[in-house]
Amino acid sequence: MMATLIWILVGLVVIGLYLSWTAGRLDRLHARIDATRAALDAQLLRRASVAQELATSGVLDPAASIVLYEAAHAARQADEEQREVAESELSQALRAVFAEAQQVEAVREAPGGEDAARELAQAVRRVPMARRFHNDAVRAARALRRHRKVRWFRLAGHAPFPMAFEMDDEPPAALADRAGT
C-alpha cells in the first residue's frame, strides 16, 4: 500500500515537472514573439522613414514623391488593425516608384542619393526577414498551444493567441538587386 502511494506521488511529481517545463517553454515562445514583433516593428518603421525621407528629398519626380510620401505616412500612422494593409500599400508604392532601374539610378546620381538608395535597399531587404522570423515564432507557439495538455491545463494562461503578420513585402526588383551593395 505504501509503495503504491509512493509511486503515485512520484508519477504526479513527474507529470507536474513536465507540465511546468511545457508552460516555461510556452512562456519563452511568447517572449520570443514579443521580441520578433518589436524587431519587425522597428524594420517597418525604418523602411517607412527612409521612404518618407526619400520622397521629401526632391530627388524623385513630383508624382512619385507624392505616391511614396502618402504611402509611407499612412504606414507610419496606421493603427494596429490597419497596419498590415498600410504596409502592403507601401510595398506596392515602392514597387511602382522603383519599377525600373533607371529610377534607382536617378536617385543614386543625385547628391546624397547613393546613401539613400543603399539605405532604402537595406530597409526593404530586412522587412521580409523580420516578418519571417516573427511568423516562425508565431507558428511554433501556435503548434504548442494546439496540444491537448496545453489546453486542458490552461498552460497558456491569459496570453492572447499569437497572430502572424501577413503583408505584401516583396521588394522592388530594382532595389532588390542593389540590396547587397
In contact, 161 and 29? CB cutoff 8 Å: no
For residue 101, what pLDDT is reported?
Answer: 85
Global confidence as pTM: 0.89
For residue 179, what pLDDT is reported?
Answer: 52
For residue 178, what pLDDT is reported?
Answer: 53
Q: Residue 43, CB half-sphere, CA atoms under 13 Å: how many?
A: 21
* Nearest by Cα to 54 from 115, 100, 101, 130: 115
Grid coordinates of 84: 498590415
For residue 111, what pLDDT is reported?
Answer: 87
Scanning the chain, the segments in alpha helix (DSSP H) are 2-56, 62-77, 83-97, 101-109, 113-145, 148-152, 173-178
Cβ within 8 Å of residue 56, ≥6 positions away: 65, 69
Task: Tell me the pLDDT of the chain (181 aa) as tens digits.
Answer: 899 999 999 999 999 999 999 999 999 999 999 999 999 999 999 999 999 999 998 888 899 999 999 999 999 999 999 999 999 999 999 999 998 888 888 888 888 888 989 999 999 999 999 999 999 999 999 999 999 999 999 999 888 999 999 999 999 988 876 555 4
For residue 103, what pLDDT is reported?
Answer: 86
Grid coordinates of 66: 507624392
